[in-house]
Amino acid sequence: MPARSWSPAPIDAGGFDVDSELVRLFGAGVRPLHLEQALFDAILAGWVRQQRARLLSEHTIGPRERLVRRLLEHAGVWRWEWRAEHLEEWIEDLAIGPPRLHVSTLRAYQIAIRLFCEYLLDRRYPWVAICTSRLGAVPQQIVDERHLIVHVAEFEADPGRRPLSRDELQAFFDHCDAQVSGRHALKRKGSLAALRDAALFKTTYAWGLRRQEAAKLDVVDFARNPQAPTFSTYGSLSVRYGKAIGGGAPRRRNVLTVFDWAVEVIDQYLHEIRPLYGCSEHPALWLTERGGRVKSPYVSERFATYRDQIGLFRELTPHGLRHTYVTHLIEDGFDPLFVQMQVGHRHASTTAIYTAVNGDYKQRALADALAAQLAPGQL
């Protein structure tokens, strides 16, 4: 991008002493060789500081910063020269792919760019004054409601993603167990990881966890539930890295244990399998052979390997285990509000989207409803 000359223009500075602001940004007597690049970097750094001051997580701030730089590269002009068509062309290219992005992802990109524009145009900061006075350009907001992708459906993820059927779930868990069956199982390379992964996937389903929630569990996250003493020290699970909202900190929740077989799984893992890693001092529940913590991408990769080995549909993902958990609790008669609290949904409509009950359940529900209507005294 060609550099502009450093010459003041007779344009309103919006109440800021532009010279003083430039000294504050770059130092006394310093004149950046490439003013546009230096100014853009300063604006972006200021936006990052603003988000950190709002206690947003780095997992939110970092991707937003990278999105702004990606749009800058695509547009080929500096931010104060962006127009609405620059954003529209970028979104159009992303929508076409490859890879083809989901509608919700594209909308999130638009919202991130809008937030950056709002920061740049905020008159409490000197950016507009500097741009108009030194560059002769007036930045504009390029994202408003007319540009945002319309949110017309509650569920915008890939419709191919769904819960596992009971037969699929059983086949998947049987395959997990088959990796370490036989007299010499523990002597085979990778057998310890297979034992761990079998427990990991069963735990993910048994407590309705997201992939990252499962990967970040610690040993101490299990605790007693006084109302369910038969579950011993595994009556509840503290999920400390739940899905964040609006860029905030991870949300926490306690998930009560509902499956007695899950207690046996986690107890066996903690007392017979995990000690074999030789890292008793490490807090992580799921350990690697090198003594680290299992990462969430590994969970997806391992799930996909097992899924493909037994010929399940490729649309199935680890998140499907969470969907399956919700579906099975509803089918088994648990109160929908209890299920909503277990999985940490703020709205019952979200839990309903996760639920895909089978035909037998629907027939039983219909039969119960008809029986109640036709009972004596109801006509």
Q: What is the pLDDT of residues 210-260, one digit of tens each?
A: 999 999 999 999 999 999 999 999 999 999 988 877 666 788 999 999 999
Q: Given pLDDT bands bounded at 50, 70 and 90, which one contains residue 364?
A: low
pTM of the model: 0.66
pLDDT number for residue 12: 46
pLDDT number for residue 377: 53
What length is written for the chain?
Answer: 379
Q: Where are the domains of the chain?
A: 18-135, 166-372
pLDDT number for residue 345: 83
**Cα–Cα distance, 302 to 179 (Å, whole number):** 12
Comparing CA positions, the residue from 8, 41, 262, 241 lying closest to residue 130 is: 8
**Cα–Cα distance, 90 to 92 (Å, whole number):** 5
**Cα–Cα distance, 253 to 248 (Å, whole number):** 15
CA 366 to chain centre: 37
Please give the single-letter amino acid code of residue 198.
A
Q: Which CATH number fits domain 166-372: 3.30.930.10, 3.30.499.10, 1.10.443.10, 2.40.170.20?
A: 1.10.443.10
- Residue 53 · residue 137 · CB < 8 Å: no
pLDDT number for residue 1: 46
* pLDDT tens sequence across 38-87: 999 999 999 999 999 998 888 889 999 999 999 999 999 999 999 999 99
**Cα–Cα distance, 329 to 313 (Å, whole number):** 23
* pLDDT tens sequence across 260-308: 999 999 999 999 999 999 998 999 999 999 999 999 999 999 999 999 9
